[in-house]
Amino acid sequence: MRIARVFATKTKMCPTDEDAYFAGPELFTPYYHEAHISASFTWARERAFELAQAWKNNADKVIIGGPAFGDPGNEFILGMYLRKGVIITSRGCPNKCPWCFVPKRSGKLRTLPIIPGRILQDDNLLACPQEHIKKVFAMLKTQKQIEFAGGLEPERLRAWHVETLRGLKTRHIWLSYDYDTSDVYLKNAVDLLARYFRRDQIRCYVLIGFDGDTIQKAEARLVRTWELGTLPFAMLYRDERGSMPSPAWRKFQRQWTRPAIIKAIMGNYGKQL
């Protein structure tokens, strides 16, 4: 059965094969048994409905889904909705952070069969049983340019994790900094990693714009993240309705997602690059 996968937004994680689309069908687009319309972000749901309408005459069946529609993501199929090389070995998270949709969408933490790949997009890999984590690390020994793109929770990072990570061909390790009082956990994690990894390898998602946050407060957290030894990346919060943040917040976020601009900002702060 031939399936078209149609994505409401294009990211570097999307597949790029001949059956992956980011717009409506064109004159010579083949006819499909099914067209799966996928939206990763709540603000892209309207676009997903538009694409579903556009594809209704080019497939026997049109299905709308994805994280933005609360899809729990049961079976993981390599290369289906994420480009080849990107894998998910677990879903769900035991934490109940008020800004995060994962527990509502994916439910309780559960492990999945481990498929070879180099970019991990698990919700919270380090919350998994130790046996599963060790099996994931064993698989990664066969990979190059490894990225922990889903993020590793600093509070759960231990010395034995780092000892294993140092033996892998790792490109980037992503951490998270979601609230002010978590910087102690971030510091401990960076202290462990910095023995073997450079700043540009230790990256950190920093939540901004949530629950009364201000640009001034957000900038202070981003600067703090740099001071602790990571390369920060601002993640701008959007509610379940996908409400559009103000232009000021969007501009601020763009600045703090580009390494060259971040380094220039920190140079102006007089912080060591």
Q: Are residues 101 and 57 in the same domain?
A: no
Residue 167 belongs to a domain: yes
- Sort 62 into a burial class: Cβ within 10 Å, 0-12 / 13-18 / 19+: buried
Supply the pLDDT for residue 73: 77
Residue 52 belongs to a domain: yes
Q: Are residues 89 and 165 in the same domain?
A: yes
Q: What percent of the chain is modeled with pLDDT above 90?
A: 81
Cβ-proximal residues to 213 (8 Å cutoff; 6+ apart), any chain: 237
Q: Are residues 176 and 164 in the same domain?
A: yes
Q: Are residues 63 and 190 in the same domain?
A: no
Cβ-proximal residues to 69 (8 Å cutoff; 6+ apart), any chain: 39, 45, 48
Supply the pLDDT for residue 51: 98
Checking if the pLDDT of 193 tops 90, the result is yes
Q: Is 190 helix (H, G, I), strand (E, B) or coil?
A: helix
Supply the pLDDT for residue 178: 84
Checking if the pLDDT of 271 tops 70, the result is no
pTM: 0.89
Number of domains in the chain: 2
Supply the pLDDT for residue 133: 98
Residue 21 belongs to a domain: yes
Name the domain boundary from 68, 87, 110: 68
pLDDT digits (tens, 9 = 90+) for 4-14: 999 999 999 99
Q: Is 206 helix (H, G, I), strand (E, B) or coil?
A: strand
Query: Tokens standing for 233?
Result: 């990346």
Q: What is the CATH number of the domain that holds 84?
A: 3.80.30
Mean pLDDT of 59-78: 90
Supply the pLDDT for residue 105: 80
Cα dist from 255 to 11, 244, 259, 261, whole Å? 18, 18, 9, 6
pLDDT digits (tens, 9 = 90+) for 31-52: 999 999 999 988 899 999 999 9
Contact (CB, 8 A) for 102 and 123: yes
Which amino acid, 131?
E
Residue 7 belongs to a domain: yes
Cα dist from 139 to 4, 119, 164, 168, whole Å? 30, 12, 12, 10
The pairing of strands 119-120 and 86-87 is parallel
Residue 140 belongs to a domain: yes
Query: Tokens standing for 93?
Result: 């998270």
Contact (CB, 8 A) for 124 and 94: yes
Helices (H) and strands (E) in the chain, counts: 8, 12
Helix 259-268 with 247-255: angle, nearest 10 deg: 90
Q: Is 167 helix (H, G, I), strand (E, B) or coil?
A: coil
Mean pLDDT of 202-219: 94
**Closest among 50, 60, 46 to 21, alpha carbons compared:** 50
Residue 200 belongs to a domain: yes
Residue 273 belongs to a domain: no
pLDDT digits (tens, 9 = 90+) for 102-141: 877 887 899 999 999 999 999 999 999 999 999 999 999 9
Mean pLDDT of 203-229: 94
Q: Are residues 45 and 128 in the same domain?
A: no
**What is d(CA 47, CA 55) in angstroms, rounded to the nearest whole number?**
12
Across 64-73, 196-205, 241-250, the highest mean pLDDT is recorded for 196-205
Supply the pLDDT for residue 181: 65
**Closest among 144, 193, 149 to 170, alpha carbons compared:** 144
Q: Are residues 203 and 220 in the same domain?
A: yes
Supply the pLDDT for residue 10: 95
Q: Is 80 helix (H, G, I), strand (E, B) or coil?
A: coil
Q: Are residues 143 and 8 in the same domain?
A: no
Supply the pLDDT for residue 98: 85
Checking if the pLDDT of 200 tops 70, the result is yes
Mean pLDDT of the chain: 93
State the residue range of the domain holding 23.
Answer: 3-68
Name the domain boundary from 28, 47, 68: 68
pLDDT digits (tens, 9 = 90+) for 224-270: 999 999 999 999 998 877 777 899 999 999 999 999 999 999 988 77
Q: Are residues 62 and 106 in the same domain?
A: no
Q: Are residues 77 and 115 in the same domain?
A: yes
Q: Are residues 56 and 92 in the same domain?
A: no
Q: Is 25 helix (H, G, I), strand (E, B) or coil?
A: coil
Instruction: Kindly state the DSSP code that residue 57 receives in the 8-state scheme.
Output: T
Q: Output the CA torsion sign for 127, 131, 134, 135.
A: negative
Q: Are residues 123 and 229 in the same domain?
A: yes
Residue 107 belongs to a domain: yes
Supply the pLDDT for residue 273: 58
Q: Are residues 247 and 160 in the same domain?
A: yes
